[in-house]
Amino acid sequence: MNLIDTFAEFKELKNIDRPTMMNVLEDVFRGMMTKTYGSDENFNIIINIDKGDFEIWRNRIVVENVEDENTQISLAEAKKIDESYELGEEVTEEVKLESFGRRAILSLRQNLAGRIVDLEKANVFNKYKDRVGNIVVGEVYQAWKKEILILDDEGNELILPKAEQIPRDFFKKGDTVKAIVLQVEMRNNTPFIILSRIAPLFLERLFEQEVPEIFDGLITIKKVVRAPGERAKIAVESYDDRIDPVGACVGVKGSRIHSIVHELRNENIDVINYTTNTQLLIQRALNPAKITSIKLNESSRRADVFLKPNEVSLAIGKGGLNIRLASQLVGYELDVYRDVDEEEEDVDLDLFADEIEPWIIDALKKIGCDTAKNVLVIPVNELIRRSDLEEETVLEVIKILKTEFE
């Protein structure tokens, strides 16, 4: 009987190599032998996957009195096969699949189907387990509210959760999606491959694809921080003095970085030349803001950054995003202060004690705001975050202080 005719649904198996398939087929057949005859030890199974042929041969010893019909055959029965058989000889006889009966064959098919499905699941899991952190490209098969189902080039299912998408991402059926493999796990014996487009590693892998010097190891990515879809900072270093790491990453007229920015929904990317000099790294991380001085506190991993009044908003950025990313990049909590000229008019906070409660003034002083303009130059949300004061309190303080300069 032709194997492919019998098991047509397994004709084109993906992810399963020939030796494994041979072993599975033989194992399933031997299971049927054991169930039918009590043992499979005296059976030979020959499988030819290319032709779809298989043969089952049973070996029995010729005996005078048969005690085990599976392993023994009487001399009379043996001579029906070949007159030359004698007592003690081994008789090898082909067993046709039909002889096992319809129910046994159906059970064999179901068993084989289950084994194949389990094998394919295990192979998909093992394949992607080794690809965690690498970029994959797939096609959107279905888009739901909380996640997107993506198929790779072999038809394997990949999941891109909403939480791992860039805020401005929008995908529909048939779209091509690029992401990194974030996590691979088995749930109820089914592989789940979770993708991400917001992980810092995704940005790192995109640079490796676009910048040959990074791929070749001439430029090293030291650290990546992101606010997905908004802004990112990436610190790079070259061990070859002849290579400008920032220039190489950006490319001529931004040619290399342009495709990355486009892929990340116009995420602004600051490429920074890495240095072990913390103060210099802070200056580069806060660029284009010009810093006048920095005071480091290495034990608390904090840094007081002083800038001219007109540079403060540049350093902090919209919604405090720039300084937050810079802090993550350098590994220091950065506190920005307005570097006020002595001759410039300003008012000490203590002079507002009749309008602002002392404990509020103390809270502001603790974050380095000891004058009115020190407070006014810092955005409201940044003041709230650093001072731990309520928004209503901060807004009232700002209103009082602004009145002084009107």
| Residue 321: predicted pLDDT | 92
Average pLDDT over the chain, rounded to whole? 87
Burial 70-106 (b: 16+ CB within 10 A, else e): bbbbbeebbeeeeeebeeeeebeeebebeebeeeebe
pTM of the model: 0.68
CA proximity to 380, closest of 366, 367, 391: 391
Residue corresponding to tokens 């900072």: 233
Residue corresponding to tokens 């940044």: 382
Q: How confident is the model at residue 343 (pLDDT cuts 50, 70, 90)?
A: very low
Q: How far apart are CA 173 and CA 245, in angstroms?
A: 39
| Residue 10: predicted pLDDT | 53
Top-confidence range, 22-36, 88-102, 364-378:
364-378
- For 263-273, the pLDDT digits (tens) are 999 999 999 99
- For 47-95, the pLDDT digits (tens) are 776 666 678 888 999 888 888 888 888 888 888 888 888 898 888 888 8
Contact assessment for residue 374 and residue 337, using Cβ atoms and an 8 Å cutoff? yes
- For 266-296, the pLDDT digits (tens) are 999 999 999 999 999 999 999 888 899 999 9
Phi-psi region of 133 (alpha: psi -120 to 50; beta: other; left: phi over 0): left
| Residue that wins the pLDDT comparison between 148 and 352 | 148
Contact assessment for residue 210 and residue 202, using Cβ atoms and an 8 Å cutoff? no
Range with lowest mean pLDDT among 117-121, 186-190, 302-306, 320-324 = 117-121
Q: How confident is the model at residue 159 (pLDDT cuts 50, 70, 90)?
A: very high
Looking at residue 138, its amino acid is: G
Contact assessment for residue 150 and residue 159, using Cβ atoms and an 8 Å cutoff? yes
Kindly report the backbone phi and psi dihedral angles of residue 289, in degrees, each rounded to the nearest multiple of 5, phi listed first: -65, 135
Q: How far apart are CA 285 and CA 287, in angstroms?
A: 6
Give just the sign of the alpha carbon dihedral 348, 352, 353, 358: negative
| Residue 340: predicted pLDDT | 63
Q: How far apart are CA 65 and CA 148, in angstroms?
A: 69
Range with lowest mean pLDDT among 37-46, 143-152, 160-169 = 37-46
Q: How confident is the model at residue 256 (pLDDT cuts 50, 70, 90)?
A: very high
Q: How confident is the model at residue 3 (pLDDT cuts 50, 70, 90)?
A: very low
- For 83-129, the pLDDT digits (tens) are 888 898 888 888 887 777 788 778 777 777 777 788 888 888 988 99
What are the residues facing 233 on neighbouring strands?
Answer: 225, 270
